[in-house]
Amino acid sequence: MKNVYRVLASLNIFVGVCAIFGGMAAILFPEEPLGVTVDILENSPFENFLIPGIILFAVIGIGNILSAFLLLRFNLRYQGYISSIFSWALIIWIIVQCIMLDFIIPLHILLFIIGLVEAALSIVILKKQVGKRS
């Protein structure tokens, strides 16, 4: 079970660091973060990347880092739920992003798969936790 926690925490850290980096770029340079122009937001409700950057930074970035920290430091009763929330947040983020941008790139596919793996590992933790209570 330790391996499940380590793999999930590693994925959380990877996603969290990437999201913090991307979110910070969008917050600091909302008109052109990392060279991406606002033209791709044509089909979205946003005029620039500020609001998506804040959400990416706070929810996906900080959330996944917090989840990893809790996984590695504490044996919380609700850890499966915490991890599941942030894995589904990533999955929903990627789906909504692809719909709004109206295209899919390999990074979207990779992060979607990582979100599914995080969700599956969260289910493993939840099953273990429910089994302990029975």
Domain extent listing, the chain:
2-133
pLDDT at 134 over 70: no
What pLDDT does 53 receive? 97
What pLDDT does 2 receive? 86
Which pLDDT tens digit goes with each residue over 65-85?
Answer: 999 999 888 877 788 899 999
What pLDDT does 106 receive? 96
Q: DSSP for the chain, please give it.
A: -HHHHHHHHHHHHHHHHHHHHHHHHHHH-TTSGGG--GGGGTTSS-SSSHHHHHHIIIIIIIHHHHHHHHHHH---TTHHHHHHHHHHHHHHHHHHHHHHHT---HHHHHHHHHHHHHHHHHHHHHHHHHHHH-
